[in-house]
């Protein structure tokens, strides 16, 4: 069981701007029309998730162009950060992704003096909700956030003595390893659910688009969202949960969000309420993240959510979409970034078995869901990200770091 460990550290530390500690590199605007089947992997915004890289749909640039893009080539353990969309996410580049090059709107941070700053310490410092939230607050743009590298260079982090950095990094590496082991066991549980799904319902590949299946638009209502003006304080901090794709993680159910709206904020964008039980589907950056609303909520423009009708149960539809992320991604359209439109989602055909059979599956899945949460050592219905906040203690100039669940 994963315990809620909260290590604390304090010691003499100084706040130093990232621009003084690191070279911060910008990426190149690679032309998608020049992508090939293999070559130099292009690391894009969608690849940078919270704490790790995901590249189930890789893009490659011709290896023959290596010389012309030399300044954008990446190295093992480069620290990458998203600058657009879900800003403030960081990941370290694993050797398995090489050779690779940096795409536009992804930053690369390379430590200037590793005798002053440990890379694992820096990673854990930036892989925290407090840093991500500050990135979101500092980013420009309403429809899509854009983080400035000028702001990033000026962002200061506490830098204690190297022995303290190593101890902090070691502690959080242990927590991360514990989480990774738990997630590996969760994958096995998810495979069990998928096996049961196929056993009960047969081939679940939506790419078949069987003519006897039903359009999503005919068995439910597809609803999107929007972002109220962030500079209007009266719109924010109320009692209405407001979701972004970045907040969908390992949890099946979403019961809380990092930001909330007031009634004025809801009215400003004529937002449609997503009732509890709505199947949440991210429609861009990235496409195909799925969850179920555990309570009434609203969302930003990065979703095409499905309010199920009487013939479809949320847990059934959630699993069906989860098992078809590749197909959902193949439906994305757009020049700047791929996106699912409301019409595309409505036109997807899905198998709709008898409700009694869906209920049997839901009963089985819920038992497995309970095992997932027991494994993670957190109460139902949600497990969040574990990361730490770092700050300088105003009393003695020391560094305080805490592991927290979000």
Q: Is residue 357 a part of any domain in this protein?
A: no
User: What pTM, to 2 d.p., does this model score?
Assistant: 0.67
In a shared domain, residues 312 and 259: yes
Q: Confidence class of residue 397 from pLDDT cuts 50, 70 and 90?
A: very low
Judge whether residue 2 has pLDDT over 70: no
Best CA proximity match to 183, nearest among 406, 401, 386? 386
In a shared domain, residues 82 and 212: no
User: What is the average pLDDT across 192-208?
Assistant: 94
In a shared domain, residues 255 and 394: no
Range scoring the smallest mean pLDDT among 266-270, 342-346, 367-371, 401-405: 401-405
Rg (C-alpha) for the chain, rounded Å, is: 22
In a shared domain, residues 157 and 276: no
Q: Is residue 130 a part of any domain in this protein?
A: yes
Q: Which helix (H) or strand (E) holds 27?
A: none
Q: Is residue 42 a part of any domain in this protein?
A: yes
Query: How much of the chain exceeds pLDDT 90, in percent?
Result: 67
In a shared domain, residues 394 and 336: no
Burial (CB count <10 Å: 0-12, 13-18, 19+), residue 345? buried
Mean pLDDT taken over the chain: 86
Q: Is residue 154 a part of any domain in this protein?
A: yes
In a shared domain, residues 238 and 319: yes
In a shared domain, residues 341 and 392: no
Judge whether residue 170 has pLDDT over 80: yes
CATH number (domain holding residue 211): 3.90.220.20
In a shared domain, residues 28 and 155: yes
Judge whether residue 292 has pLDDT over 90: yes
* Structural domains of the chain, count: 2
Q: Quick one: pLDDT at residue 246?
A: 78
Q: Quick one: pLDDT at residue 144?
A: 65
Q: Quick one: pLDDT at residue 56?
A: 78
Please name the residues in contact with 225: beta carbons below 8 A apart, sequence gap of 6 or more: 243, 269, 271, 272, 274, 298, 299, 300, 301, 302, 303, 305
In a shared domain, residues 325 and 239: yes
In a shared domain, residues 70 and 135: yes
Tokens 């590199």, located at residue: 25
Q: Is residue 362 a part of any domain in this protein?
A: no
Q: Confidence class of residue 376 from pLDDT cuts 50, 70 and 90?
A: low
Domain boundary residue among 303, 324, 350? Answer: 350
Q: Quick one: pLDDT at residue 5?
A: 39
In whole angstroms, give the CA distance from residue 197 to residue 228: 39
Judge whether residue 264 has pLDDT over 90: yes
Q: Which two tokens stand for residue 82?
A: 């998203």
Q: Is residue 86 a part of any domain in this protein?
A: yes
Q: Is residue 221 a part of any domain in this protein?
A: yes
In whole angstroms, give the CA distance from residue 70 to residue 67: 5
Q: What is the pLDDT of residues 233-263, one digit of tens each?
A: 999 999 999 999 878 877 899 999 989 999 9
Q: Quick one: pLDDT at residue 140?
A: 82
In a shared domain, residues 140 and 21: yes
Q: Confidence class of residue 381 from pLDDT cuts 50, 70 and 90?
A: very low
Within a 10 A sphere around the Cβ of 394, how many other Cβ atoms? 7
Q: Domain limits at 144?
A: 14-161+384-405
Higher pLDDT, 15 or 389: 15
Please name the residues in contact with 64: beta carbons below 8 A apart, sequence gap of 6 or more: none
In a shared domain, residues 44 and 91: yes
Q: Quick one: pLDDT at residue 400?
A: 45
Q: Quick one: pLDDT at residue 294?
A: 95
């Amino acid at each position: 069981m994963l315990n809620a460990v909260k290590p604390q550290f304090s010691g003499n530390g100084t706040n130093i701007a990232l621009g003084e500690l690191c070279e911060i590199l910008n990426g190149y605007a690679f032309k998608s029309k020049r992508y090939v089947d293999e070559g130099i992997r292009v690391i894009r915004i969608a690849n940078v998730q919270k704490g790790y890289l995901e590249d189930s749909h890789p893009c490659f640039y011709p290896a023959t162009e290596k010389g012309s893009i030399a300044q954008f080539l990446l190295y093992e353990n480069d620290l990458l950060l998203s600058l657009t969309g879900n800003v403030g996410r960081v990941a370290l580049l694993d050797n398995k992704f090489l050779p690779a090059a940096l795409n536009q709107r992804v930053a690369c941070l390379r430590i200037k003096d590793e005798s002053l700053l440990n890379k694992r310490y820096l990673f854990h410092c930036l892989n925290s909700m407090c840093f991500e939230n500050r990135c979101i607050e500092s980013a420009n743009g309403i429809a899509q956030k854009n983080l400035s590298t000028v702001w990033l260079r000026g962002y200061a982090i506490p830098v204690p003595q190297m022995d303290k950095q190593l101890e902090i990094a070691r502690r959080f590496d242990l927590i991360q390893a514990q989480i990774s082991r738990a997630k590996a066991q969760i994958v096995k549980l998810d495979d069990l659910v998928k096996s049961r799904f196929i056993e009960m319902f047969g081939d679940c590949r939506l790419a078949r688009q069987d003519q006897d299946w039903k359009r999503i638009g005919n068995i439910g209502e597809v609803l999107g969202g929007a972002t109220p003006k962030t500079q209007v304080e009266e719109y924010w901090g109320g009692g209405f949960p407001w979701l972004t794709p970045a907040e969908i993680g390992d949890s099946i159910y979403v019961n809380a969000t990092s930001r909330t709206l007031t009634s004025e904020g809801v009215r400003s964008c004529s937002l449609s309420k997503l009732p509890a039980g709505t199947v949440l589907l991210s429609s861009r950056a990235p496409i195909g993240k799925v969850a179920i609303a555990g309570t009434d909520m609203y969302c930003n423009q990065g979703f095409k959510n499905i309010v199920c009708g009487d013939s479809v149960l949320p847990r059934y539809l959630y699993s069906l979409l989860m098992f078809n992320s590749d197909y959902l991604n193949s439906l994305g359209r757009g020049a700047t970034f791929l996106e699912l439109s409301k019409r595309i989602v409505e036109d997807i055909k899905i198998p709709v078995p008898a409700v009694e059979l869906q209920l049997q599956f839901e009963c089985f899945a819920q038992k497995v869901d309970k095992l997932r949460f027991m494994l993670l050592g957190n109460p139902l219905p949600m497990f969040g990200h574990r990361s730490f906040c770092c700050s300088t203690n105003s009393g003695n100039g020391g560094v305080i770091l805490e592991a927290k669940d979000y």
